[in-house]
């Protein structure tokens, strides 16, 4: 993707009259492209109704929490938001359609914000996470913040209380809670060793 540290992965889907098959993650291929293997410390799944928006979430770096995101049922639009102060793409976001047809995945490296919008009822999303959830190191920005100007594709999204009451990008930045771009690059470089 055009945001450094964000990747769209498109597997080869093989099909026959029985159904289909795809390799969603291969450690050697991933490591060759990203520069290090993905340490899987936690696997999360969530089920969402149509027009649910979850995000914008990220964790302190180091260690951060990289995510390898796939859709197991239904369809969603996955969003990566560059929240790294000093990044040439700070404040920019990109989106990828994840569904059960193309079976794409998105890799969100440490320091990047993440969110998604469910396009169908009972959409199931899986996250392979590089670090366990730690509520003292996890942060959120209001997904409808006008400064981010994310086009979620829905005018009245369903939000959790946490997301609905989240601070703005400006407030989080003023509080010094956004990740530093150089620190994120240094941490990711340490994973190569």
Q: Which positions are annotated as active-site residues?
A: 57, 127
Strands 6-9 and 105-108: antiparallel
Using an 8 Å Cβ cutoff, are 65 and 129 in contact? yes
**Strands (DSSP E) found in the chain:** 6-9, 13-16, 19-22, 42-48, 53-59, 67-73, 75-82, 93-99, 105-108, 112-118, 123-129, 138-140
Using an 8 Å Cβ cutoff, are 82 and 112 in contact? yes
Q: How far apart are CA 171 and CA 34, in angstroms?
A: 32
Using an 8 Å Cβ cutoff, are 114 and 81 in contact? yes
Q: In what order do the strands lie in the sheet with 42-48?
A: 6-9, 105-108, 67-73, 123-129, 42-48
The secondary structure of residue 31, as a DSSP letter, is H
Alpha helices in 12-168 (DSSP H): 27-34, 161-164
């Amino acid at each position: 993707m055009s945001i450094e540290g964000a990747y769209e992965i498109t597997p080869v889907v093989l099909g026959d009259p029985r159904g289909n098959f795809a390799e969603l993650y291969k450690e050697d291929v991933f490591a060759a492209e990203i520069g290090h293997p993905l340490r899987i410390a936690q696997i999360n799944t969530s089920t969402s109704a149509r027009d649910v928006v979850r995000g914008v979430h990220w964790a302190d770096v180091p260690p951060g929490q990289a995510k390898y995101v796939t859709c197991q049922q239904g369809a969603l639009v996955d969003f990566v938001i560059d929240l790294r102060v000093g990044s040439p793409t700070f404040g920019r976001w990109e989106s990828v359609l994840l569904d059960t047809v193309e079976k794409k995945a998105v890799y969100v490296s440490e320091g990047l914000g993440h969110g998604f919008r469910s396009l169908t009822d009972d959409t199931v999303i899986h996250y392979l996470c590089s670090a366990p959830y730690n509520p003292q190191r996890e942060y959120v920005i209001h997904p409808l913040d006008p400064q981010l100007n994310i086009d979620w594709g829905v005018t009245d999204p369903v939000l959790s209380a946490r997301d609905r009451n989240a601070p703005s990008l400006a407030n989080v930045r003023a509080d010094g809670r956004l990740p530093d771009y150089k620190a994120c690059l240094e941490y990711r470089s340490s994973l190569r060793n």
